[in-house]
């Protein structure tokens, strides 16, 4: 996943995040409608479980449906924003999306016996989309951090022949460095005549 970058990576991230947002909106609508029907049925039939008040049960069903729908819609909004900006969700959005993924995993395990394998497959599909959306944007963030850390430090490079290089300016004030040369013969400028008076040690 870390190698997903460039234009192709951006299209893939946005497509997955957008598709996940659409699926979550549809799921929110379906769950809201199902809980609405259950609440109305409980209220009209005066249904009760273990002696519970039918009015309380119907209101609890409405509240549960509304809460689940709002939760899924919030996740869809964060994913839609991530797809529009091609930017990883924030910390709160990531916590919300991870919670949604965990919830779908638990619901998938529960609906196998209650509804069937078809519902399980739908829950696992949504779970995979959520995990893939989080993974793609996490890989993008890790690749961007590595590129920034591995890039050249600002002001550290210089043109060839700059400070510290061959022909560079290492002297005070940026000027050329002045090095002391070994002194020559004091009469060297007079040619061979100057060397006539050179004193040489004699052997004992």
Spatial separation of the C-alpha atoms in residues 155 and 20, rounded to whole Å: 44
Tokens of 66: 């509304």
Does residue 5 surpass a pLDDT of 70?
A: no
Please give the pLDDT value at position 76.
95
Please give the pLDDT value at position 69.
94
Angle, helices 117-150/54-85, rounded to nearest 10 degrees: 40
Does residue 165 surpass a pLDDT of 90?
A: no
Please give the pLDDT value at position 1.
44
Which residue in the block uniquely carries the two structure tokens 């060839």? Answer: 160
Please give the pLDDT value at position 3.
46
Tokens of 116: 């069937």
Residue 107 contacts residue 123 (beta carbons within 8 Å): yes
Residue 21 contacts residue 83 (beta carbons within 8 Å): yes
Answer with the residue of higher pLDDT: 99 or 190.
Answer: 99
Task: Determine the average pLDDT of the residues in 6-30.
Answer: 89
pLDDT tens-digit map of 49-101? 666 777 888 888 899 999 999 999 999 999 999 999 988 888 999 999 999 99
Please give the pLDDT value at position 173.
53
Average pLDDT along the chain: 76
Does residue 188 surpass a pLDDT of 60?
A: no
pTM of full prediction above 0.85 = no
Spatial separation of the C-alpha atoms in residues 55 and 39, rounded to whole Å: 9
Which residue in the block uniquely carries the two structure tokens 């009209």? Answer: 44
Does residue 142 surpass a pLDDT of 60?
A: yes
Answer with the residue of higher pLDDT: 42 or 144.
Answer: 42
pLDDT bracket for residue 179 (50, 70, 90): low
């Amino acid at each position: 996943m870390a190698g997903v970058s460039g234009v192709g990576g951006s299209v893939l991230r946005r497509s997955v995040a957008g598709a996940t947002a659409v699926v979550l909106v549809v799921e929110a609508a379906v769950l809201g409608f199902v809980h609405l029907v259950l609440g109305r049925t409980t209220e009209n039939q005066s249904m009760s479980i273990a002696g519970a008040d039918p009015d309380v049960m119907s209101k609890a069903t409405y509240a549960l449906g509304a809460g689940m729908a709002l939760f899924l819609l919030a996740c869809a909004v964060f994913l839609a924003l991530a797809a529009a900006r091609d930017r990883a969700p924030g910390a709160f959005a990531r916590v919300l999306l991870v919670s949604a993924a965990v919830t779908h995993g638990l619901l998938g395990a529960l609906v196998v016996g209650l509804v069937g394998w078809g519902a399980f497959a739908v829950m696992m599909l949504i779970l995979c989309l959520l995990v893939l959306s989080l993974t793609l944007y996490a890989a993008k963030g890790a690749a961007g951090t590595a590129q920034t850390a591995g890039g050249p430090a600002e002001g550290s490079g210089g043109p060839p022949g700059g400070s510290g290089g061959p022909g560079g300016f290492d002297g005070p004030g940026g000027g050329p460095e002045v090095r002391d040369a070994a002194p020559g013969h004091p009469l060297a400028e007079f040619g061979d005549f100057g060397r006539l008076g050179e004193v040489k040690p004699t052997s004992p």
